[in-house]
Amino acid sequence: MPLSILLTIIIGTALGWLLVKIARVPRHLRGLVLGCCAVGNLGNLPLIIVPAICKERSNPFGDVDICYKNGLAYTSLSLALASILVWSYAFNIVRIYSTQEISNVVEVDQFTVNPTSTTETDPENHSKCSTQTLVTTEDRYHTKNCVNQLEIEIVVPNGQEKKEKLMQCPQTLAIWSNLKLLFPPTLIGAIVGLIIGIVPQFRKLLVGESAPLLVIQDSLIMIGDACLPAMTMLVGANLLEGLKGQGAQLPIIVGIIIVRNIVLPAIGVGIVKGAVHFGLIHHDPLYEFVLLLQFALPPAVAISTSTQLFGNGRGECSIIMLATYSCAAVSLTLWCTFFIWLVL
């Protein structure tokens, strides 16, 4: 499954890049187009579709209880792996192409040039300028170490040495800011959850009827049960915003629909059936169905969240989500029917 999800992202990115070149997508929308083509809704929709199919008495995958248990395990693994890949790849690819300025070094340099030069040219206003610089820097960054560093810089008479020290703290802040962008809270949470699930010592503490910290598991289950309807409502809110916002170009929308709803599922059929033919995976109809389903899903909701965080392409993203999810209501039904027939 990790390899299958990785292949969906690699193939989707390649198809998205072709779409960018063919449709001549503007630079500020390239990250949005690449993200929509590369990353599907690998978490919420499989968690809704697969257990719902298994709960049917006439489901094609055998016993209801076994099908539900295995289907929930497969889709949960898909959700965990997708969370890591989505927030490490799609989030950052939208950030790279975003027009919003995210560097703090430039802001610090521009802000500290005038107070520093004033201190050097006007000794009488030395204390006044120093106080203004420290207070504003503290309000901007809230970093105690940075304020202490600037206090040392102000009292040093040698201007050259002062400038060299002045750059040390902003560089540290810039590195910390970049790390925060590369590892958003959702990605950190997914990694921590995988570690707890994989390491037996942690798993015994939290998971199981006899776990000492069972109350934490119960609390997380209640939060998780509310997550699916909340995320679905969030998708609906984003789609409604698209009706009021700036629309994307029609070739971009049509291209993303073709990539996500036609080309990727067809490629996924060849990959999964090829893996079964060469013995890379054992013959399990439910497992094959989940792998095939991952290729036919509409774009991930995290793409919309990323565009809202960076303030770039929000209207276009809402229009794309509205179009792709509207088409997915039909295409996903047809592909699920075909996948079930194919794996049985």
pLDDT higher for 69 or 221?
69
Question: Residue 248: is its pLDDT beyond 60?
Answer: yes
The predicted pLDDT at position 121 comes to: 45
User: In this structure, what CATH number is given to the domain that contains residue 307?
Assistant: 1.20.1530
Residue 250 lies in a domain: yes
Give the residue-averaged pLDDT of 331-336.
93
Number of folded domains that form the chain = 1
Residue 162 lies in a domain: no
Residue 173 lies in a domain: no
Residue 96 lies in a domain: yes
Share of the chain above pLDDT 90, in %: 23
Residue 132 lies in a domain: no
**Lowest-pLDDT range, 18-32, 109-123, 247-261?**
109-123
Residue 158 lies in a domain: no
Structural domain boundaries enclosing 191: 1-104+185-343
Residue 178 lies in a domain: no
pLDDT digits (tens, 9 = 90+) for 100-153: 444 433 444 444 444 444 444 444 444 444 444 433 443 443 444 444 444 444
Residue 211 lies in a domain: yes
pLDDT-based confidence at residue 290 (cuts at 50, 70, 90): very high
**Lowest-pLDDT range, 34-38, 180-184, 302-306?**
180-184
pLDDT digits (tens, 9 = 90+) for 187-223: 777 778 778 878 888 888 888 778 888 888 888 888 8
**Lowest-pLDDT range, 54-68, 76-90, 234-248, 300-314?**
234-248
* Both tokens assigned to 292: 């095939």
* Both tokens assigned to 177: 């800011």
Q: Give pTM, 2 decimals.
A: 0.71
